[in-house]
Structure formats: structure tokens, C-alpha cells
Amino acid sequence: MRSMGAWLRQYFWTTYDRYFYQILIPSFLVGFVFVTLFQGIVELYNLIQLYIKSNVPLKNIFLMAINLVPFLATITLPLGVPFGYILAMGRLSRDSEIIALRSCGVSTFRIVLPGMVFSVLLTLFALIFNNFVGYPATRQYLLLRAKSEREKPIVQLKNQAFLNVGKYQLKFDRTVTFENLEILLNVQLVDLPGKRTITAEKGRLYKDPESANNYVIKLQNGGISEVQTIENDDGTREEKMFIASFKYLTVYIPISLEGFSLSQIPESMNVWELSQKIEEEMKKNFSWQNITNQRFRLKQREKELYRELLALKKTLQNPEERKAREQQIKAELTQMEKQKKDLVKQEREFFPRERMSLMEKYSFPVSIMVFALLCVFLGMFLPRGGRNENLGIAMIVMIVYYGVWMGMRRLIESGNGDPWLVWLPNLAYLAVGLWVMIRKVRE
């Protein structure tokens, strides 16, 4: 009896399989890197702006950039598949290697088998990578990004309005730009707990480059008025006003971030955490429980009515009575259908983001196999297409899928669609892939 290793080598690691992988894997990696860079351009630009304009420490920028790659890979890993498969199959077709294989008696399914095996392995890898690397990196990236945004009150500055910066309240008349720096004019800085007011002709607020939790405000030409409690010789206490002037003054303002966490947003949770969260929320939500109970009762009542409808000829001998009862049952079934539709609309209002995100955590890795099925046969129809034409077709396949997926997300987030609609791009591409496969097999 042959060993498992010999069986695997015979059916999954032949000379052809190894040759196919040598063509497929580099093409896939090129597509994956291209899509990741394309998706990351905006995020990289935003990181650069945080460093230049907001004085976010370079260490934080570097950590965000490191976590950005796994964060993007959860989306771009499937989108690199069309490039790899269409380019690989296009090359085999263009070099007449598929014709040579068929003339040797190799079936179409055997030709595409290594591509489908690779897609299954890549899907399993995506599921493991996303849950153990991608989503934790997403959580860390979003946390660092949100902290940087939260620690950046300068974006909220408004003329003639008080802004809370740590324990201070900041007010100014207007801003001017000098050498790409935003200068505040007629600044007023109030420390209510400390009973201190600082005024200055001009100042500048920026992030402390040496501390992630501090802001610095540098002031010029102003004065400080402070109320202090002093003890007299007779033991009594009284408050006195002290006033001082300054030419330059630097104030360090600590920003507290206690209790700030993004660990519970759906996009940063793995499938087990998110499933548990949804289950716990459903148990605590009485409205959801009522909808579930109503749906169960409607289903039971629907079964009873259908059974009664089938047994009417036996239970009612009078034709007129039977017809009247049949109309009553059909009217009740129609009313129940309306109630079920109302329940579906009500369900959409409960945890749409969480349920949609859970669906996406499965649908996106599965899309790898769907892309593989479509593109491995689609590439066979391009025997005369050059590399540029194949790249264009792969780009169209990716953009259409991404566009439909984003459209479904918008529909679900607006409350007009069910969370399962994120599977629609997969189902549509699967149908097209099966149609292309059948056509190719029949040739």
C-alpha cells in the first residue's frame, strides 16, 4: 500500500504542479503588493501629515506603519488573487502549453487543479492570519491612530471660542500662518482649578515631540494673574491677586487618556470575540428576544396552516365551507408574510455593524477560492492577450468586486439591507465562474 506522501506527490506535487506554482506564486505576490500599496497610499499620506503638522512622535508613526501592513492585508490578500491567476493562466495559454497538455490527454480539471489547491491553502492561511495577526494589528493601528487624533486638539481650534486642553481652557481671537506654522493671536489661557489666567499677544500650540501625552503652548508678550491663598500672622487666611508679566513663556499641558480603548470595535475583533459579543448583546436585548420569539411562533403557525390546508378535503366535505376556510387560511398566510417582512426590517436595526463585520470575516477569505475559480478558467480564454491586457482584465475583476462589496456595505449601514448581503459579490462571482468553467469544459 502506498504511503500518503507518495499519493500526494502523484496527484499534487508533479512536475507540472511545481511548474504551475513557479508561475502562479510570483504573479500573485506582485498583485498582492500592488493592491496593498494602492490601498495604503491614503493611509500613508495621513501618517505623514500626522508627523509633519501634528508633531506626532516618530516612534508612534513607525508603530502605526508596522501595524498598517497586516491591517491592509486582511483586505488586499484576496484582491491579489485575480492578478496571479489571470497572469499565470494567460501565460500558459499564450505559450500554447495548455494545448500541449490537452494533446497529451491531460484533462481541463487536472490543468487547473494546482490553482484550486493553492486557493484552498491560501484561504486557510487567510483565516488564520486574519484572526491571529491581522485583527490584532488592526486594533493596535486604530488605537494608535485614534490616540493621535484625540491628543490633537489643535484641529478643533475655533476663533472666539474656549477649547478644553487638559485642565486649561484656551481662547484666542484669530490665527495667522507664518512659515507654515499656525500662530494664535490675543491668546487667553485659563486654569480654573488653579485660579490662574495667562494672556499673551501671540502663541503656538503643538504636540510635545518628547512625550506622547503632553501638549506645549509657547506664549509671547503677556501677563499672568493668579489668585493665591496666604496665611497672615494672626493665623487667618485670605486670597490675594498676584500679577506678573513675561516676554516668553512655555506651558506644558498633560492630556489624560485614561479609559480610552478601541478594543471592542468589530473590525479589530477576531471571529470568536465578535461572535461572543453578538451573542451576549442579543441575550441582553429584550427587543431582539421578542423578535426571535415572534418569528418562532409565526413559523409554527405557518406549519399548522399548511397542514390544515392540505387536509381540508378530508376534514370538510362541504365545498362551500372548504372554499371559505381555504380563503381564510390564505389570507392569514398573506398577513403572516407581511409580519415576517416587518420582523426582517426590525432585525436590521440590531447590531448591523457587528453582524456585517462577522460575515465579512468569513466572506473575504472565501472570496480567494471564488476568485481562483473564475480567473483560472477566465485566463484560458485569453490565449492571444499580452501581459498588459491580462493585467487590465485582472484590474477590472478586482475593481468590480470591490465596488459591489462597498455598495453592499453602504446598503447595510444605511439599514436597507441584511448583513448577509456582503456575500453577494462572492455569489455573483461564483455564478460567473461556474458558467465560464462549463463553457471551457465543453470546448
> Which residues, 6 or more positions from 327, have their beta carbon under 8 angstroms from its beta carbon?
none
Residues 71 and 141: beta-carbon distance below 8 Å: yes
Strand-pair category, 181-191 with 237-254: unpaired
- CA–CA separation, 335 and 327 (whole Å): 12
Q: Please, which pLDDT band fits residue 401 given cuts at 50, 70 and 90?
A: very high
Count the neighbouring beta carbons within 10 Å of the beta carbon of residue 243: 9
Q: Which helix (H) or strand (E) holds 6?
A: helix 4-12
Instruction: Check whether 367 has a pLDDT greater than 70.
Output: yes
Model-level pTM? 0.70
- Cβ neighbourhood burial of 141 (10 Å; 0-12, 13-18, 19+): buried
Q: What is the DSSP letter of 158?
A: -
**80-93 per-position pLDDT tens digit:** 999 999 988 888 88
**299-343 per-position pLDDT tens digit:** 888 888 888 888 887 777 788 888 888 888 888 888 888 888 887
Q: What is the DSSP letter of 202?
A: E
Report which of 319, 361, 346 is spatially closest to residue 129, judged by C-alpha positions: 361
- CA–CA separation, 421 and 401 (whole Å): 13
**192-232 per-position pLDDT tens digit:** 777 888 899 998 887 766 665 677 888 899 988 888 777 77
- CA–CA separation, 130 and 78 (whole Å): 12
- Domains of the chain, residue spans: 4-151+360-442, 156-254, 286-347
E strands, 255-389, are none
> Which residues, 6 or more positions from 129, have their beta carbon under 8 angstroms from its beta carbon?
70, 73, 74, 77
Low-confidence winner among 26-30, 336-340, 380-384 (lowest mean pLDDT): 380-384
> Which residues, 6 or more positions from 141, have their beta carbon under 8 angstroms from its beta carbon?
64, 67, 68, 71
**260-307 per-position pLDDT tens digit:** 445 567 888 889 988 888 888 887 777 777 888 888 888 888 888 888
Q: Please, which pLDDT band fits residue 29 given cuts at 50, 70 and 90?
A: very high
- CA–CA separation, 191 and 96 (whole Å): 79
Average pLDDT over all residues of the chain: 83
Q: Please, which pLDDT band fits residue 397 given cuts at 50, 70 and 90?
A: very high
| pLDDT at site 1 | 46
Q: Which residues of 315-340 are buried (b: 16+ CB within 10 A; e: fewer)?
A: ebeeeeeeeebeeebeeeeeebeeee
- CA–CA separation, 124 and 126 (whole Å): 5
Low-confidence winner among 51-60, 147-156, 241-250, 338-347 (lowest mean pLDDT): 147-156
Q: Please, which pLDDT band fits residue 256 given cuts at 50, 70 and 90?
A: low
Amino acid at site 139 = R
* DSSP track, 71-138: HHHHHHHHHTHHHHHHHHHHHHHHTTHHHHHHHTT--HHHHHHHHHHHHHHHHHHHHHHIIIIIHHHH
Report which of 229, 69, 202, 51 is spatially closest to residue 134, judged by C-alpha positions: 69
| pLDDT at site 385 | 57
Give CA torsion, residues 432, 437, 439, 443, to 10 deg: 160
| pLDDT at site 57 | 76
